[in-house]
Structure 1
């Protein structure tokens, strides 16, 4: 095992995938010569050449559209949208072309493409560099949506996504890129300071899509979450003194309902936690499914904790995030319900 940051684990996944399969190509804004704004593709152009790792014009629609064409042709493009906030011009290509390729061609064509996007806040990026748009993708049939919470999973999930024959949206929490993150930060993680965050196998491995992980075992209540909020949930349980079980979804779609329902049926109480805006967030879907499947096991209503229903605040972003204080107080209230 080797200690890696999430950035290093993602770079390593690219390297191994490109080394194993000549059809894997990597491109996007500044991913070639510069190695990506967060350095997730550093060294790939030098090692594999400009035909397999190259820069694209600043046109997200063009980047993703070209990726769709490459995938239909038989290549395996891994495209980077520099920030998830920039994906809106490309959304039509993702939804109308990539997601529907298999269905509209009756299986004659597939779209083995990965769209990587740094997601979420925590770096003082403001409104246009901090959004968490995962719910926009989980609603679309034909897409898989992945959000890792640690370097080991980031590598394994990305390798599984590249190997998948259908399009995968791969959202990377920026607050976890360089770590370490214990859920208690009251200021941005500085992306230029590199700190080892986790042990990662340097060899090739895949973490299966559609399988959640139990990040913390517990008996009192279940927290269903993903990405950065996994660490917040663990810190909150310790602060509240609650024996909470934390489920790290890892893949939002396909959703591992078996792991989620088994945990809620065991504990009888559930919090759904995410960084994105509350209304119409992915937590609403989780809460609805849990309520339907676990109604007779619940000791209290399913509780959602999320970002506020406001445009993303710049100066107040650390008040916007669900933090250990807010989550811990709600854990205590739920235990009293």
Structure 2
């Protein structure tokens, strides 16, 4: 085992796969000479050279299209966005080309490509740099969506994403790059589409993903002191989504709360709520609750951010309301 940061495991996962497969390359803004905007590709230019670690202009539409074209011709590109807010410029390439070419070619071409970079809220960065678009991408057939919550999962999931023969959207967070964790030296992968039961409990199920799940874990430990037992599921993969793990948990706890850092309308929570009410309604002892960011652009002022972004207090209040409604 070795203690590694989130940014280090991202570099390690990409490097390990690139050593095995010469068709894999990394392309994006500042990935080479600068070692990555968040140093998540540190040392890779020196090891693999400028033909495989490629700096690009500020042109997401252009270099995303180059990556898709190269995937059709036998490469396995990793396309890094400095932030997924900038991926909106490339959305035509991602949605209308990458996600659809396999079907439109009658299966003649698959697109083994990973689009990766940070997503979501990351502090006082303003409204255009604090957005979560996983529900947008998950709405499009042909894309797989992965959002790890810790360094161990990040490495295993990224290696699986790189090996996948279809398009993977791999979302990280600026606020997690410094997180540290003991990582096995021996190679491992984590399959896509399988959620992780991070904590067992009996009184209520929390479903979450990405960095905000840390709040759920902190709250669960606090509530244990009050003899309230919370079960926590980390989705890890948004699409395909592991509904079975959620349903099995609800059969035990009979209550569900979904925590995410996206806007509420047409969110991942909305999709989960619909499916659970179709597939496990009879097991629910209370209405499903969701906690999201407020339905406004992200504010810049710290006092407004505290109102906009979900807090431990918000989560505790909602949990207690759900539980008390059954007493």
TM-score (norm 1): 0.93
Give 1:158's aligned residue: 158
CA distance in 2, matches of 1:119, 1:203: 29
Give 2:315's aligned residue: 327
Choose from 191, 195, 214 the match for 2:197. 214
Contact 2:137/2:145 (CA < 8 Å) preserved in 1?
Answer: yes
* 1:320 Cα offset (Å): 1.8
Give 2:122's aligned residue: 122
Does structure 1 residue 76 correspond to structure 2 residue 76? Answer: yes
Choose from 274, 277, 282 the match for 2:263. 277
**Which has the larger displacement, 319-328 or 299-308?**
319-328
The 5-angstrom pairing of residues 1-337 of structure 1 reads 1-179=1-179, 197-240=180-223, 241=226, 242-315=228-301, 316-337=304-325
- Aligned residue for 1:91, secondary structure, equals helix
- Aligned residue for 1:309, secondary structure, equals coil
CA distance in 2, matches of 1:67, 1:221: 44
Contact 1:121/1:317 (CA < 8 Å) preserved in 2?
Answer: no
- Aligned residue for 2:261, secondary structure, equals strand
**Residues 123-158 of structure 1, C-alpha deviations (whole Å, 9 max, x = no match):** 322222221111111101010000000001000000
Stretches (4+) displaced over 6 A: none
Structure 1: gaps (5+ residues): 180-196
Instruction: Provide the alpha-carbon RMSD of the alignment.
Output: 1.0
CA distance in 1, matches of 2:217, 2:282: 27
CA distance in 1, matches of 2:175, 2:33: 24
CA distance in 1, matches of 2:51, 2:125: 32
* 1:209 Cα offset (Å): 0.2
**Residues 180-231 of structure 1, C-alpha deviations (whole Å, 9 max, x = no match):** xxxxxxxxxxxxxxxxx21112333211000000111101010111011211
* 1:46 Cα offset (Å): 0.9
CA distance in 2, matches of 1:122, 1:52: 29
- Aligned residue for 2:128, secondary structure, equals coil
CA distance in 2, matches of 1:131, 1:107: 34
Structure 2: gaps (5+ residues): none
TM-score (norm 2): 0.96
CA distance in 2, matches of 1:37, 1:78: 15
